[in-house]
A and B are shown apart, each in its own frame.
Chain A
Amino acid sequence: MQARTYQCPCCGSTLAYDGRSAQMKCASCGNNYPVETLDEYAQNTMVRDTPPEEIVWERPSYGAADTDTSHLRAFHCQSCGAEMVVSDTRAADFCPYCGNPAIMPGVLEGAIRPSAVIPFVKTKEDAKAAFRALCAKHKLLPRNYASDTVVEKITGIYVPFWLFDCDTEADVTYKATRVTTHRQGNYEVINTAHYSVRRGGSFAFQDVPVNSSTKIDDTLMEAVEPFETGSLVAYTPAYLSGFQAERYDQGVESCQKRAGQRIRESVVRACRESVAGYTSVTPVNTQVLMNRSQSRNVLMPVWLLNTSYRGKKYVFAMNGQTGQIKGDLPMDPGKAFRFSLLLFLILTGCGFALFYLLMTMGVLA
């Protein structure tokens, strides 16, 4: 099977999706092509150009026999002809030999084909600059942590998400008290008025995302939210060119539980925030019914940087649409010690001087 690349109709160079112009761009001749036009063109080209012998190598499906081996699949790079071995969930990648972007055919097709995708808006340069800016804020990072070699490893990846729509009906009861105090002679009189409070209503949620790839950390993906789903466009493989992409390996059932948790918590908090003016509020019964839930499979753009320091893995992520940055950064123990020692000495010195000054001025007895 041949890995798919988008080639410039003009010069034959490999095209990559350009988030700024929302078109496929040729780095060699500078031409831009609308995705739809290029997709049709590329399909036609591939049909005519596919050598018959390669069809022999094509695997009809990746069923149990494939997955039982090692979750790997082999593709031929259309640019250099080298064989690429990638995970069977990897839908787009780069050829390790020539560096050309390649889209794996069949990985995101059929029932698992995403219904929509949010294209990358933030470029790699944006991600690198954001990461450097983030590192500049943290003085206790290991030296050279944000060096060019490290930052260059930032990778754009389309992460599969399930989006859930849900209508909810909430009905919550609380016990509440309102305490007032007044003085009566030599006595303080405390009156506690007790109330039964009830709040209810309907809440609609649209496009609550849940990461559906086990290869990517759920916490990190929730941290870079929100995704503006109004920018979703119909899926076409052209958007994957120049990025990595994964297909989902977690079904709707396993992801909807997480969406349900977040929706329920939102409803409970919304009801609680409407109960105001009381000294104490304690929930008694909380009923949240979820109706008319829907789900769809989409791809979201994320810039990822995997690093390791002293044997521990640190992952940084940036929302490829909004630029929201989150992640864990390592702390240099030597720098932390020197910083702590310096701070301790400064605080002790200043504290001593202040104490002495206040003593001399007679402020402290």
Chain B
Amino acid sequence: MKKKIGILFVILLLLFSLPAQALDLVTDRTGRYLSRGEVAELTAKSQAIFENHGIRAVYLITESLGENLSRMKYYAADEYDQAFGNHSDGVIFLVAGRSYISVTTGRGETILTTAVLNAMEDEAVEYLRDGDYAGAFSRYLDDLENVLTRYENGERFDEYTFSLKTPMQRALGALPVIAVVSLLITLLVLLIRSSNMKTAKKKETAFDYLSDARLTRRADIYLYTTTVRRKIETSSSSHGGGGHFSSSGGGHGSSSGGHF
């Protein structure tokens, strides 16, 4: 009997201890950045995206894991795989200390290219810098929904370039610049047409009346040479890259990640 009670106690202990380490859709393991209300609100929003689009969006906030983004990448992938399985379609946005990274899996990897993830992170990180961790993921979810909707409408995303705005939105955003350039071209054309209407100009020379020309003196004397040596600057890139990788759980995609 005592043995049975002991086993039951261990099982109960395990059951009660699991939620502390378990990964939900929104998890703040530091307990400092998200209130319960915010967790509930973000969870509901993420859940709605999952129901509508079949992509699970997970937000995990932890203490710092160091500056190594590659380590964070594997950590995030393992966390996601353990919680939802490595065949689950989704994305996890990990914020660890002052670093962040996004890791995708399944269909999430197909849809959310590195460029897409980077663009979504760029928007969210503005909120993180202001300490608004809830706002960051809320924006992340908004952008994710936008991207998923565009994907479902047939748009496919490039691995290297992407904008969260639609081509029409971007074109409208560029309209003032296009208008200014058009105005400058118009003024230039008007100026040229106006100057073409004034053709009377003084003659600077009298070559038309040159009857004889003899160049009799021609001397080119070398004097000296000056030398200047200039060091050639070489530029090197220290950017990290995203892309496909494999963790213990299976294949994943990721953003480039970064620090804020």
Binding site for B on A (CB under 8 A): 138, 140-141, 171, 176, 183-184, 186-209, 217-220, 222-223, 225-226, 229, 259, 262-263, 265-266, 269-271, 274, 315, 317, 325-331, 336, 339-340, 343-344, 347-348, 351-352, 355-356, 359-360, 362, 365
Contact = CB atoms under 8 A, between A and B. Distances in A.
A191 B227 contact: yes
6 contacts: A223-B199, A223-B203, A327-B200, A328-B199, A339-B190, A352-B178
B15 interface: no
Most chain B Cβ neighbours within 10 Å, of A140, A188, A265, A352: A352
A178 B183 CA distance: 42
A269 B206 CA distance: 11
Contact of B182 (A208, A331, A339, A348): A348
A344 B180 CA distance: 9
B207 interface: yes
Interface residues of chain B: helix, strand, loop or mixed (majority): mixed
Contacts of B202: 218-219, 222-223
Q: How large is the interface on B (under 10, 10 to 19, 20 to 34, 35 or more residues)?
A: 35 or more
B167 to A, nearest CB: 4
Interface stretch (B4-12, B217-225, B238-246): B217-225
B196 interface: yes
Contacts of B235: none
Nearest to B234: A186
Contacts of A206: 209, 211
Interface in B122-158: 158
Nearest to A360: B167
A274 B209 CA distance: 19
A328 B167 CA distance: 48
Interface stretch (B54-62, B73-81, B94-102, B168-176): B168-176
Nearest to B203: A222
Q: Which 10 A-B pairs have the closest CB atoms?
A: A200-B217, A359-B167, A347-B182, A226-B208, A204-B212, A201-B215, A351-B178, A356-B171, A262-B206, A365-B161
A162 B223 CA distance: 46
